[in-house]
Amino acid sequence: MLRHLALMFLLALIWSSSFMAIKVGVETIPPLTLATVRVILAAVILYGATRLRGERLPGGLRFWTFCFLLGVIGNGLPFTLIGWGEQRISSGLAAILMSVMPLATVVMAHFFTSGDRMTPAKLAGVVIGFSGIVVLVGPEALKGLGSDVWRQLAVAGGALCYAVTVILARNTPPAPLIARSAAVMIMACLVMVPAALVAEAPWAIEPDGESVAAAVYLGLFPTAFATILFFYLVQMRGASFMAFVNYLVPVFGVLWGVGLLSEPVREMEVAGLIIILAGIAVAHFKRPKKTGAA
8 occurs within a structural domain: yes
Domain count, the chain: 1
CB 152 within 8 A of CB 137: yes
CB 277 within 8 A of CB 270: no
User: Domain residues for 64?
Assistant: 2-101+150-254
32 occurs within a structural domain: yes
111 occurs within a structural domain: no
45 occurs within a structural domain: yes
Q: What is the pLDDT of residues 174-183, one digit of tens each?
A: 888 899 999 9
| Buried residues in 60-73 as b, exposed as e (16+ CB within 10 A) | eeebbebbbbbbbb
Give the whole-angstrom CA distance, residue 15 versus residue 17. Answer: 5
Mean pLDDT for the stretch of residues 277-288: 68
Q: What is the pLDDT of residues 231-243, one digit of tens each?
A: 888 777 666 566 6
Q: What is the pLDDT of residue 142?
A: 47
84 occurs within a structural domain: yes
Q: What is the pLDDT of residues 199-250, one digit of tens each?
A: 998 999 999 999 999 999 999 999 999 999 988 887 776 665 666 676 677 7
Please say if the pLDDT value at position 192 is more than 80. yes
20 occurs within a structural domain: yes
CB 23 within 8 A of CB 90: yes
pLDDT cut 70: percent of the chain above it: 84
34 occurs within a structural domain: yes
